[in-house]
Each structure stands twice: as structure tokens, then as C-alpha cells.
Structure 1
Amino acid sequence: MEKAKVYFTDFRTSNGVGLPEKLKRLCRKAGLQTMDLENKFVAIKMHFGELGNIAYLRPNYAKAVADLVKEAGGKPFLTDCNTLYPGSRKNALEHLDCAQENGFNEITTGCHVIIGDGLRGTDDCIVPVEGGVYCKEAYIGRAVMDADVFISLTHFKGHESTGFGGALKNIGMGCGSRAGKMHQHSQGKPVVNADLCRCCKRCAKECGSDAIFFDTGKAVIHEDICKGCGRCIGACSFDAIHNPNDNANEILGCKIAEYTKAVVDGRPHFHISLIVDVSPNCDCHPENDAAILPNIGMFASFDPVALDQACADACLKADPMPNSQLSDNLAKPDWHRHHDHFMDSNPNVRWKETLEHAEKIGLGNREYELIKF
């Protein structure tokens, strides 16, 4: 199989050329405008950030991509689907309010914002997954599937379950309706080791489904309420919460790959990732901890698997940032080093299996040629 092409540019700028313009040049170089966009509806999938979190991508980057689409005659819109957990993006009205408060509107981005799975997160399409092992069909937001062309614009960062949030996470989990998100998270439920629990209650504050109670004085996760999102695992500072199903995160990653394939199969697609403000956890958190890695640059490719692999490789080569979750973990005298920044930041994660499975089902190629300019 021929190597995929991944295009890269760093965050250095010259007089008169800002980062949005540099992103446009990257996308042109990578071939975004070679797609037939004339009079086509173009979905630009991104994360608008949870209220309180400011690590999400700035609207300026979204406008740069939307402008390129319009230059080629396309009709762009920004989109994301509602969350499974109760936060500021759990229905379309609150989701749009959140997006506007975080700076995403028609003026700042040059295009409309549409919530992909409707008012209550129930407006979805059942899409077959060709070659799917864990998912034979996927539940994808209808507006996402109604688009003629699909573009992902991803903030590449750490993640407490999948290791990192890259293009596949942005697409697969992000485009799933509420039913789709539940489908992907259904493999495992975390449990509490009461001997290690300190009753700090941070897990309950982070819980995505209000499933943690302290009736016995220690944290207890009610399995019938828990949605399996894993946020409590990342929240616990005392390793008191774990998933007894050792392959749950591995299977989650494989399902994300299969959902991504359902989204992109059969239509033109293009993918962009920015390694900037690399927070240790997802942008779904109502806060963002200090970056674990330095800002590296912008990447673009027609192949989402190659794109994630290239971004992961770039991160693994970078030095950890001081005073971060990653550097704090590495400084612990009894820390078991994984020699993997994502696993050393969140030790329960899996990410390589996601890319391996994505390649196996024909979503893309992990072998790539990095083209810098």
C-alpha cells in the first residue's frame, strides 16, 4: 500500500502572515480545494469546548477552513453532536449557547453552526459499517450524514480513555448521536477500590452520568446509571477507580475507528489536526489542566489514520512540559514508566490498538510521508 501523505507546518509566523492564513496555506498545499465543493454542503466537524474549558481551538481556525470551502463554491457549516453526559452541550439549545459563549457564531466563523443530532440528540441515521467487527451499524447525527463533503478540524490533545483525542476521536465519537455514544461506551463500567478511596469526591464532580454516590462513606458507582465514559478514572488522584474489563478502552478505540469509517465512507473527506494547548484530558471537561506537551504545529491529510499516527509520533518525540500532569507523574519515585507520553499521563489508556484496527478495516494507512513546508 502506498504511503499516505501528511502535510505539516509549525506555528512560526512572519510579518503580515498570521496563523489562520498559514492554516489556509497548509490546506491548499494538502489539496483541500482539489475536491469538488461547488454548491456542496460541507460539514466541518469540530469541538466547541465545554464551558470553563479554554483549550479548544479558536474560532479563527474554523473561519480559515470555512473561507477555503466558500472560495471553492461550497456551503460550509460547523457541526458537533450532543453529549451523552449532562453538561453544557447536552441538547441543541444549550449546545448552541455554549458554542456562542466560546466564540463560535456566523460573524466569527463565516458560516452557520448546526448541531448534528438535533434538539435532544435523537435525530440520527443508522449507517452500515463496512468491515465492522464490533459495530455492524452506527448511529450518526443526521446533519453530519446529510452533508455532501466531510471535513474534520481537530484539537489534538490527551484523553483519559483513548490516550489522545485526535481525528478519529473527533469523528467517531463526536459524530455519534446519543445512541451512538452509548453504543461505543457500552463495553465496560469502572469500579471503586474502597481501600484506596479518600472521599475527595472529585470523581463525582467529573461523572458524566451522576452515577457516583457516597452512601457508605466511600465512592460507589451505580452500574445501572453509569454510561462508561471513564471520566472518573482520569479524575481520581489516588488510583482508586479502574475498569475491571482490561480491554474496555481497547474495544472503545476500535469502535471509534468503526464509527469514523461509517462517517467518511462513500463521500469526499479531508482532515486537519492542530497540536496546540495539549491538555491531558478531553475538551469535554469543564476545565483544562496545564498542557503536557509543547505546541507543535498543524497537520492535514486526506487520510485520518495517517494523520493521527503522524500527530502521535510528533507528540512522542516532544519533551514533556514542566508542571504538568505528565511531568508530575514521571517525577514520582515509584512511577512505572511506559515511555509513551499518553500512557504516562493517563496510565489506563489504549491508543495504538485504535490505529491498528482502523488500518485493518480499511479506514486508512498508518504508513505516511510527512511533507513539511
Structure 2
Amino acid sequence: MEKSKVYYTNMKATFQENLPQKLKRLIKTAGIGEIDFENKYTAIKMHFGEPGNLAFLRPNYAAVVVNTVKELGGRPFLTDCNTLYVGGRKNALDHLDSAYQNGFSPFSTGCHVLIADGLKGTDEVEVPIEGEYVRNAKIGRAVMDADIFITLSHFKGHESTGFGGALKNIGMGCGSRAGKMEMHSAGKPYVEVENCIGCGNCIRVCAHDAPKITDRKAFIDHDKCVGCGRCIGVCPKDAVCPPNDESNDILNKKIAEYSLAVVKGRPHFHISLVIDVSPNCDCHSENDIPIVPDVGMFASFDPVALDRACADAVNRQPVMAGSQLDDMPHTHHDHFINSAPETNWKVCLEHAEKIGLGTQEYELVEI
């Protein structure tokens, strides 16, 4: 397969060009203008940051992408799907509050925010895919309704996948609650009975008669449960929990397959900023010291090549003193595996390449 081009620029600014202007020059040089945006709905997928986390990308960067799409005739919106875990982005109302709290509003970015899988994380489209693990990817409806798909990713470490980049932003990020269940879990949801109040919301939402209430406490019949996760979204006490029992390697492969389901058959373009490289996901309500210094901004039509180029760039950096990575034994020549030893990020890229999503072979074009 021919090498994919990945465009890169560092984080240096001048009196003549600030960082937002430099990002715009990067994505235009990388070829975003080759896409026909005229009057097309354009989903810009990003992570708005869990409240309390300060490593997420500033809305200023989102505004650059939004304004560029508008200049090219497109109709952009910022989007993400609700989370599987309990936090500030579990439903669309809390998710929007979190986005606004972190500065993502029509006034700061120039477009609206749409939570792609609806109020409770159940507004989804099933996308058929002949994957090794996935047959019908469950994707947030607004993502699939878009004509064009763009990612703006904060490239950082991740405790389960090694790092979170373009593919993590696409695959896991675009999954509905049922999709996230499928990727994270080999099993079915369960009830923490000490938190259950026996309200019956889980019974009313289930189409398979799996939840039951005994002595005012719910339990889930796993013989009937199909693992859709709807009960998780409606529980007012967060008593229904996902098992999160899938192996990290299979999780990575499922993310690759979900990513293919999202991008196949329509124009897509990908941007990653390798800055504030925290050891864990922006889903955390905190962020630790970056594990390496800021690297730069990257863009490509190929999300696999983009992730590989960003990972290689991070692994060329020195370790930040006092970081989680600095505290870990350096048993590998790999910052991500040293930081999270139970992970292997290469599995995701190898599987993505295998299923035809892109290539790990890239030509780095510095501007």
C-alpha cells in the first residue's frame, strides 16, 4: 500500500502567525479544501472534556476548523456521544452543560453542539460491518446523518488503549451507549444493589424483560439481557453498571472496527494535536502532569497513519520530570506501554490496517 501523507507543524508561533492561524494553514495545506463541503452537514467529532479536567483542547482550536469548513461552504456542528460511565457527560443535558462550562458554545466556536446519540445515549444507527468482533456497530445518529466527518483529537495517553488519538475519538467516541457497552464489555450490565431504589425504570426501558425487582432491589437476568445498556442510562442512582471486562487487546480491535463503520463511504479528514499529553483519557475529572513535552499539530486523510505518526513523535520525546511516566519503570522503549503496562496500542493500528481502514506507512510532511 502506498504511504499516506501526514502533515505536521510544531507549536512555535511568531509575531506574524499565532497558533490558530498556524492550525488553519496546516489543515489547508493537508488538503481539507479538496473535499466538496458546499451546503453539506459536517460533523466535527471532538471531546469536550470532563468537568475538572483541564487537558482537553481549547475551543479556540475548534473555532479554526469550524470557520474553515464554513469558508468552504459547509454546515459544521461539533459533536460527541454520551459516556457509558457515571460523570458529567452521561446524558445530553449534562453533556451540554459540561461542553458550555469548558467553553464550547456557538459564541466561542461559531457553531452548535449536538450530542449525537440523544438525551439518554439511545439514539443510534446500526451500521453493518463484517468485522472480526462487530457485526452491527451502534453509532450516534447525528454522526451518521452528517455528509462529511472530521475529527479534532487531543492525542494523549490512555489507561486501557495505550493512547487516545484519532481512532479512539472515532470508534469509541461515536459509539452510542450500546456501542460503548459492546466495545468495553464481554459480559452484561449488573446492579449494585446498595444503590438501587427499586424504581423500575430499568424494567420499563428494557425490550427483553431482563431486569426484575425482588425485595425492592433490581437484578438483571443475563440469559435475557442483550447488553444494549439502556438500563444504565435511565437509572437515577447509577446503580446499573457495565462490567468493563473486555481485554484491552480486543477493546482496541473493536475500536478499529467501529472506526471503519463511522468513516466508510463518505469524505473524512482528521486532525490531532499532540499537546498536554496527559497519561489518561480526558474522560477523567482530573488530569496529571503531561508525560512528554508538547509536540505539535498533525493532519491527514488517513486516521491510521495519523495515529502512527503521532505515537512515533511522542516516543521520540524526553520524559517529563515528575509525571506518571517518570514514576514508572522504563522496561520498554515505548512511553505508552511504560505509562500503562497493561496496554498495547499497536494492536489497534495493526487491526485497523488489516481491515482496510488505512496504513501505518506514512510520509511526514513538515510545514
User: Could you report, residue by residue, the CA deviation over 1:165-210 in whole angstroms, capped at 9, with x for unpaired residues?
Assistant: 0000000000000000001011379xxxxxxxxxxxxxxxxxx999
Q: What corresponds to 1:128 in structure 2?
A: 128
Q: Find the residue that maps to 1:173 and give its secondary structure.
A: helix
For residues 342-361 of structure 1, the aligned pairs below 5 Å read 342-361=336-355
Aligned partners of 1:123 and 1:177 also within 8 Å: yes
- Matches of 2:180 and 2:339 in 1, distance apart? 24
Q: Find the residue that maps to 1:273 and give its secondary structure.
A: strand
Describe the shift of the 1:259–1:212 C-alpha distance in structure 2 as closer, same or farther (beyond 3 A): farther
Q: Give the deviation of 1:227 after TM superposition.
A: 2.1
Answer yes or no: is 1:366 the counterpart of 2:365. no
Describe the shift of the 1:84–1:277 C-alpha distance in structure 2 as closer, same or farther (beyond 3 A): same
User: Could you report, residue by residue, the CA deviation over 1:52-99 in whole angstroms, capped at 9, with x for unpaired residues?
Assistant: 000000000000000000000000000000000110000001100000
Q: What corresponds to 2:20 in structure 1?
A: 20
Q: What corresponds to 2:90 in structure 1?
A: 90
Equivalent position amino acid for 2:326 in 1: S
Q: What corresponds to 2:275 in structure 1?
A: 276
For residues 82-231 of structure 1, the aligned pairs below 5 Å read 82-129=82-129, 131-187=130-186, 226-229=241-244
Q: Give the deviation of 1:132 after TM superposition.
A: 0.8
Describe the shift of the 1:212–1:270 C-alpha distance in structure 2 as closer, same or farther (beyond 3 A): farther
Aligned partners of 1:40 and 1:74 also within 8 Å: yes
Equivalent position amino acid for 1:127 in 2: V
Equivalent position amino acid for 1:327 in 2: D
- Matches of 2:151 and 2:335 in 1, distance apart? 24
Q: What corresponds to 2:237 in structure 1?
A: none
Describe the shift of the 1:210–1:372 C-alpha distance in structure 2 as closer, same or farther (beyond 3 A): farther
Aligned partners of 1:86 and 1:209 also within 8 Å: no
Q: Give the deviation of 1:33 after TM superposition.
A: 1.2
Q: Find the residue that maps to 1:295 and give its secondary structure.
A: coil
The count of corresponding residues between Structure 1 and Structure 2 is: 325
Gaps of 5+ in 1: 190-207, 214-221, 230-242, 331-335
Q: Find the residue that maps to 2:153 and give its secondary structure.
A: strand
Using structure 2 for the length normalisation, give the TM-score.
0.85
User: Could you report, residue by residue, the CA deviation over 1:303-360 in whole angstroms, capped at 9, with x for unpaired residues?
Assistant: 0000000000001111110000000113xxxxx6122100111111121011000000
Q: What corresponds to 1:201 in structure 2?
A: none
**Over the residues paired in the alignment, what is the CA RMSD in angstroms?**
2.0
Q: Give the deviation of 1:212 after TM superposition.
A: 11
Q: What corresponds to 1:205 in structure 2?
A: none
